[in-house]
């Protein structure tokens, strides 16, 4: 029989639920049953939208008083790829030589299991003295389009009158060893498409044509030549990278009609989407002058830069990590986006989970002891949080 206070056994049980996005695979319902039995008011909530699959999500809460500490995460996982290349079954949850294998072990069923086991342990030791609230917000759409997941679940919770004071998102944040890094913010992301128009013609008669490749090389080179900024106290410099450069031309004797390039900018808290787009447009106007005909379009984005400023909550997390691991974690804003970009609109959020070296890989795995240690860290943070 599964003991939900055993974070390693709970991780194994979650891995054995084949919850490849958008399939729930039994993972959320397993947690739903565990939390209901522990006294939580728990809900499985399904959201739908046009051109996207329906997705199940879980929201659970115990207590009505303040403060409310929320644990967030996801149980959906990416596809396993070529299953024959796995040393151990991707949904077997096997432990070999102290290492737990399986899809989602690192990203992030281990983190979810550690949070649940630590909360159950805390509630058991606190008993009737517990006066605050603890909530779980677990999505099945983090690895997918992120349309029918956390963003809608937060809206649903708000409509019910739910309020959160702080959140811990258990994404795998550590680069090398457990305790290395807490994410206290994330860079924003803005993508765009640049098109330079020319005039198609015979390559032997360039005076009768207008080669757009000259123009796009000038604009691409100019945008990449100068840094957007020098960074801030908690963020590195914003970075623009081009991902494609294409003219769609298969003929060796034809000057193409147009040239296209796509780019992405990971930006810091000096910018918003609007101010950054305006800066790119300004720079392009300067580069183009009267000699290059171009258009630039920016894709819609919900990934703004944000920061949970160091303070009491962050210090509690640092102290808990140091107590359990002997390591003082780096406070970082590096990496890609996560569901923290939605949560930060409702309460301060930090991210701390397992080591992420094998996430999304064949033979995804984590040391089983790290899962138990992560649960210990979360328990230390919960104790500090409600004692304060």
Enumerate the active-site residues: 76, 142
Task: Report the candidate in 274, 333, 267, 339 with the shortest Cα–Cα distance to residue 300.
Answer: 274
Are 140 and 119 contacting, i.e. CB atoms less than 8 angstroms apart?
Answer: no
- The rounded distance, in Å, linking the Cα atoms of 328 and 344 is 24
Task: Return the residue matching tokens 């945008």.
Answer: 223
Alpha carbon distance 295, 259 (integer Å): 11
Query: In angstroms, rounded to a whole number, what is the distance separating the alpha carbons of residues 81 and 211?
Result: 42
DSSP letter for each residue of 168-230: EE----BSSSTTSEEE-EE-EEEEEEEEEE-B-EETT-GGGSB-HHHHHHHHHHHHHHS-S--
Q: In what order do the strands lie in the sheet with 133-139?
A: 41-49, 52-62, 133-139, 68-74, 166-169, 349-351, 181-183, 330-332
Sequence-distant (≥ 6) Cβ neighbours of residue 68 within 8 angstroms? 61, 132, 133, 134, 135, 162, 163, 164, 165
Distance from first CA to last CA of the chain, Å, rounded?
36
């Amino acid at each position: 029989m599964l003991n939900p206070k055993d974070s390693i056994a709970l991780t194994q049980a979650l891995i054995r639920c084949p919850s490849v996005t958008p399939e729930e695979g039994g993972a959320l319902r397993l947690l739903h049953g565990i939390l209901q039995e522990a006294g939580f008011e728990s809900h499985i909530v399904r959201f739908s939208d046009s051109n996207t699959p329906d997705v199940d999500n879980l929201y659970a809460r115990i207590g009505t008083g303040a403060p409310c500490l929320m644990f967030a995460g996801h149980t959906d996982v990416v596809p396993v790829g070529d299953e024959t290349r796995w040393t151990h079954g991707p949904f077997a949850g096997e432990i070999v030589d102290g290492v737990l294998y399986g899809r989602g072990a690192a990203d992030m069923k281990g983190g979810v299991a550690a949070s649940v086991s630590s909360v159950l342990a805390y509630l058991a030791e606190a008993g009737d003295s517990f006066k605050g609230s603890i909530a779980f917000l677990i999505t099945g759409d983090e690895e997918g389009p992120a349309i029918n997941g956390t963003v809608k679940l937060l809206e649903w919770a708000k409509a019910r009158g739910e309020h959160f004071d702080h959140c811990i998102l258990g994404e795998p944040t550590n680069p090398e060893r457990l305790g290395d890094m807490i994410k206290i913010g994330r860079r924003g992301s803005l993508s765009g498409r640049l098109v330079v128009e020319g005039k198609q013609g015979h390559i032997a008669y360039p005076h009768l044509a207008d080669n757009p490749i000259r123009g796009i090389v000038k604009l691409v080179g100019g945008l990449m030549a100068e840094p957007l900024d020098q960074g801030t106290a908690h963020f590195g410099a914003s970075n623009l990278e081009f991902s494609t450069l294409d003219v769609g031309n298969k003929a060796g004797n034809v000057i193409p009609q147009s040239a296209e390039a796509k780019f992405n900018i990971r930006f810091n808290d000096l910018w918003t989407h609007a101010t950054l787009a305006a800066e790119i447009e300004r720079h392009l106007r300067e580069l183009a002058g009267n000699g290059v005909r171009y258009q630039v379009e920016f894709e819609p984005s919900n990934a703004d830069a944000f920061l949970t400023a160091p303070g009491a909550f962050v210090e509690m997390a640092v102290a808990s990590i140091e107590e359990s691991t002997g390591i003082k974690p780096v406070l970082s804003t590096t990496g890609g986006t996560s569901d923290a970009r939605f949560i930060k609109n409702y309460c301060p959020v930090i991210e701390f989970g397992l080591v992420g070296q094998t996430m999304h890989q064949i033979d995804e795995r984590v040391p089983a002891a790290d899962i138990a240690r992560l649960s210990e860290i979360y328990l230390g943070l919960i104790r500090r949080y409600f004692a304060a």
